[in-house]
A and B are shown apart, each in its own frame.
Chain A
């Protein structure tokens, strides 16, 4: 039995280690290559006043993700082509926000400047800090001048040429309709909402009702007697479990309370100060006083 438990423990540990190996650090998997501009003739100007191809990475998570330490590359055979320096505040991407990288093949200009140019029909990938785990990749086809290629909605799966270039902003630039507005278009009088929502409320509470209606007996099961081998020689008399109502319990509790309460005699509220014969008390001790210097 002991061996069995030990083998089980080893297997469990192995599974956990393997699973951990598959995990991305700090939700790196939430980072997406979101938008790319390859041919920048008269479009976005960087802080050096130059026009370069640029890459927008989007953090699709609802927590901040640090892109520092990860790799960007345009070469499938060299995943570690550009290492994004760690520890800089700008590499920490806020929830649902973006970071831009400029592909000008001049990394001396800052950590957002890459050591490669973007090319038509080229390749672009983002790798985890181990340089092996691929986070996201895109094969760039033919490109158009000053028109960016990106996900049609931030973090979405569909790619295409965007109507507007949106570096560091939402890719979707049309009118946004909220979930509520969509819902009310289909259900202008709220009848659908009432039916759906009441059904869900009822479903939740009916399930709770059914569980507690039918599992009442489970809580009073005595597991020890259930699995104990019955001795045919001993025929136990059936024990009747009488259900005691809450009112009876309340009456018993009240009786007990009154009985216990009666044990305490209520003295008259008279305070008597009486000098005790023995004057010594630890409270007045000079030996244990706080002002003694510890030796």
Chain B
């Protein structure tokens, strides 16, 4: 009987101890909030189909990262030696973003840009959002390196944002990445009102000349010249720009189809899964829910709005110097903020609202891919000045 009693107390004690290890015992209000955020991301991805390839891994990653555990068992993403920590290495050391850029390069067709190279300038103008947000972040009291890392959200390029923040402000990486991908997913919601606000009904009806056909040689030369030129000016952008243009050369050379297929297929898929999951898991409530994170989200929104407005207004300004017939529809100005191809799709949809036969998608792809180059160049500059 005594033995029976001691056995029960043994079981009770161990069950009590076991309970202290469970997530129920370690859960905080912050964890619950973050799990709700993760579920919301998954809902947006499945129900609204907003960037599902990113929001599903990130949303699930948020769930994974916010299961409250007892520290010391090499479970958490921030615990040295844990599996998640090993996977997170690729984010912290900036390994994944250039690999994603390789895939993006292999799937990007620059022909709309080559056929109408003045669209490149729209991609440059939209980067103003980055530097507008940088100035605001400085005013709010963020350090210069933190401001630079936050501002890059305006580039609307997830891999670039992760790459730069891993170098300038690794402690803010989770918040910056989540903010960047959230706003990229919300491009169809954020951009149209700004585009409509800054354009007149006459401007929205501008029909652009159809793009000329682009030769194979031109397409193959573009990544070579593009890489040499941009990286000679901004060598710190080499990991991103080098991989982007390399991927594009694999595609356009026409003789490395297998490599291009791997880069734009299985490889980018694997890296997207790893980057999405680990970035999501890095939002552990204990490190993520801070006033800084709130500031980052606010600044991210500001930089997106500034970037979109800058792109649209630049086209209007540029049109002052263009002859009738060569004018650019300012509705493609928003596409300068990268977010490929969503922002170009927004141009198309908004354009069709005003003229059912005016298809802007092909034209918008020009500034859209120019935005990718522009944001990588901008990241290189920030890295050069602030690292």
Q: List chain A positions with a Cβ less than 8 A from chain B.
A: 178-181, 183-184, 188-191, 193-194, 196-198, 200-209, 211-213, 216, 219-220, 243-249
Contacts and interface: CB of A to CB of B under 8 A. Distances in A.
Given A180-B145, A198-B128, A204-B229, A246 B211 contact: yes
B124 interface: yes
Contacts of A248: 213
A245 to B, nearest CB: 4
B189 interface: no
Contacts of B222: 212
Nearest to A189: B135
Q: Which of B132, B137, B145, B168 has the most CB of A within 10 A?
A: B145
A95 to B, nearest CB: 14
B124 A205 contact: yes
Given A206-B121, A212-B225, 5 more contacts: A200-B381, A202-B121, A219-B218, A244-B213, A246-B214
Contacts of B387: 179-180
Q: Chain A's interface: helix, strand, loop or mixed, by majority?
A: helix
Contacts of B217: 219
Contact of B131 (A181, A194, A208, A212): A194
8 contacts: A190-B134, A198-B131, A205-B124, A205-B370, A208-B373, A216-B218, A220-B215, A246-B212
B19 interface: no
B8 interface: no
A62 to B, nearest CB: 13
A211 B221 CA distance: 11
B45 interface: no
Nearest to B374: A201
B377 interface: yes
Nearest to B138: A190
B240 interface: no
Contacts of A209: 117-118, 120-121
Nearest to B310: A198
Given A193-B134, A201-B378, A208-B229, A183 B124 contact: no
Nearest to A213: B117
Given A213-B118, A246-B212, A201 B144 contact: no
Contact of A204 (B131, B145, B377): B377
Nearest to B359: A247
Most buried by A among B168, B217, B374, B386: B386
B37 interface: no
A187 to B, nearest CB: 9
A209 B370 CA distance: 10
A209 B318 CA distance: 14
Contact of B135 (A194, A216, A243, A249): A194
B238 to A, nearest CB: 13
A89 B222 CA distance: 47
B124 A198 contact: yes
B370 A190 contact: no
B139 interface: yes
Given A200-B234, A206-B121, A209-B121, A194 B144 contact: no
Contacts of B128: 194, 198
A245 B211 CA distance: 6
B382 interface: yes
